[in-house]
Amino acid sequence: MKIKISWIVLFTLFACIFASHAQDIPPTTSKVYPGPDGKLVYVPDSLGNVIPDFSNAGYKGGGVPIPYVQSKATVWPVLGDNAERIQKAIDSVSVLTPDAFGFRGAVLLKAGFYVLENPIYIKASGVVLRGEGQGDTGTILYGKILTAPEGGGRFRRPALINIAGESGISIDENSTQDITDNYVPVGAKSFNVKSGKGFKEGDKISIKRIGNEDFIKAIGLDSASVGRNRWRPFDITYDRIITAINGNRITIDAPIYTAVDSQWGGGNISKYSDARIEQVGIENLRGISEYDPSVRQTAYGNMDRDDLGAEHRYEGEEYYSDENHYSSLVDFSNIQNGWVRNITALHFASSVIQTNAGTKWITIQDCESREPVSQRWGGRRFTFQVNGQLSLVQRCISQKGRHSFVLQGSESSGNVFLECTAINPYSSSEPHNRWANGVLYDNVKAPLTARFWDYIIGWAGANIVFWNCEGDYLIQSPPTANNYSFGHIGVNAVVFNAALQDLTKPNGFVESTDRHVTPKSLYLTQLKERLGMDAVNNTLIAF
């Protein structure tokens, strides 16, 4: 018997198969998407602003493997204070002659328990502090409670490990040249200056984006709008290298993340001399901050998040709230090209790792924060805090943080959080303070915000991108800039304390809600296009 199948049945069958297959293919976005040749296409707005390239974030400008540095000094734990012995070992390596790659050597801390009565410091280039594991049987640094905070107050405590050059960069004011373009858009890597004669390829330059009083008024943070909490005019600087010069047109290695606009004062470039240290790393150890367990508070609600449900409110829960101990495990100042990898931190009051303004090209990877000890409100539990430029935080975990993956200030730009996770957070990961700009949250699992915080903090972030993230979120866009969410799985309605937010502010650009987009990772795709697949593989390596 012959069976006849009509063309309508066949068409319907094939259409169903195609539709089912199409559902498995993540959509693309309208702002940046793979073109016919597979390379990303960036769609500019009416002013030329695009989703910027974030691939310069990380050690050595991204895509470079973190090196393994030969040990030149070894320390074994002893009973009592170990801080002086570790510091002497660091100091002994710090005076060695650097090799061809700029490394003096590593100080190896053998597995064991190291009581530290004082913080330790690395002040020279080319020094690595390495342990023999971040687990219970690895290298454990135990920071004793400081008898008196240096400078007074919880916020001025040193970190347990301090990486700090004596000074940073010095601007050559005589080299300054004004940018002559009326508008240099977000994502741009070239622009015109009044005269390019004094510059050459390879010069380190500081790009100043001026923000005058008219800019403050345009973003609604002048005295007429917010009274005594008004912002003052401020400039944003970008630390860059010249890659090409064509007459008066300058091309740089990484884009700008806030537009240079002549109506707000324009901008300029200047050469600088660089005294920052570099090639410094911390790896493969655990840090613990001692605290007083008798100091406790009882939680009633949550100042940051009001609508998480009973399972997250911790009503009536008594918790450890001592703050007379270390706030941070690792602190970076006046350094470029550094790293922290494979560390675990317990009980620190604020940041596991903090990179300060003036730092550049830092990679922080495979690190974890557990059970922080502090009060649960303002200024605490900023777990992975990145306040410098072009740094990469990847595969890191924050437990019970408030702002787990966070940035502060306009000097924070071009930074990337990649595949990070916040567990039981008390607040959102976010640009937190005063125009942190050009930040990518890529495949991050955490509550996220990019918003108008309050009239003290104001517009916390500009030109922020959430890419294929998961968790509840709130995204708003400031005047003169934008914030974006692509492929976000979660509810765009995270509720915060009404005193800390203004839901009348305009929403950011949101596309493909509750479904991830192509490519899976924006950072890794941009890195591949700029440097090739080897750079991606170098980034994915875990030590």
The pLDDT tens digits for 427-439 are 999 999 899 999 9
What is the pLDDT at residue 306?
40
Yes or no: say if 280 and 126 are a contact pair by the CB < 8 Å rule: yes
What is the pLDDT at residue 325?
93
Helix, strand, coil shares of the chain, percent, nearest 5, are 15, 35, 50
pTM for the structure as a whole: 0.93
| 126 residue type, one letter | G
312 has a pLDDT exceeding 80: no
Q: pLDDT tens-digit profile of 204-230?
A: 999 999 999 999 999 999 988 787 788
Mean of per-residue pLDDT scores for the chain:
90
What is the pLDDT at residue 3?
45
Element containing residue 474 per DSSP (H, E): strand 473-475
- Listed in order, strand segments (DSSP E) in 67-198 are 71-75, 105-109, 112-116, 120-122, 127-130, 139-143, 161-164, 169-171, 177-178, 183-184, 190-192
What is the pLDDT at residue 146?
74
96 has a pLDDT exceeding 50: yes
pLDDT band at 37 (very low <50, low <70, confident <90, very high): very high
What is the pLDDT at residue 500?
65
313 has a pLDDT exceeding 60: no
Residues 6 or more apart in contact with residue 157 via CB below 8 angstroms? 146, 149, 150, 326, 327, 328
End-to-end CA distance of the chain: 67
Cα(182)–Cα(185) distance, integer angstroms: 10
Q: pLDDT tens-digit profile of 282-299?
A: 999 999 999 999 999 887
What is the pLDDT at residue 155?
46
Mean of pLDDT values over 319-326 = 91
Classify residue 216 by burial, with Cβ atoms within 10 Å: 0-12, 13-18, 19+: buried
Share of the chain above pLDDT 90, in %: 80
Number of other CB atoms surrounding residue 172 within 10 Å = 14
Stretch among 82-91, 190-199, 310-319, 348-357 having the lowest mean pLDDT: 310-319
24 has a pLDDT exceeding 80: no
Q: pLDDT tens-digit profile of 413-472?
A: 999 999 999 999 999 999 998 999 999 999 999 999 999 987 778 999 999 999 999 999
Q: pLDDT tens-digit profile of 246-269?
A: 999 999 999 999 999 999 999 999
Task: Name the residue among 159, 152, 42 with its Cα closest to residue 526.
Answer: 42
9 has a pLDDT exceeding 70: no
What is the pLDDT at residue 317?
76
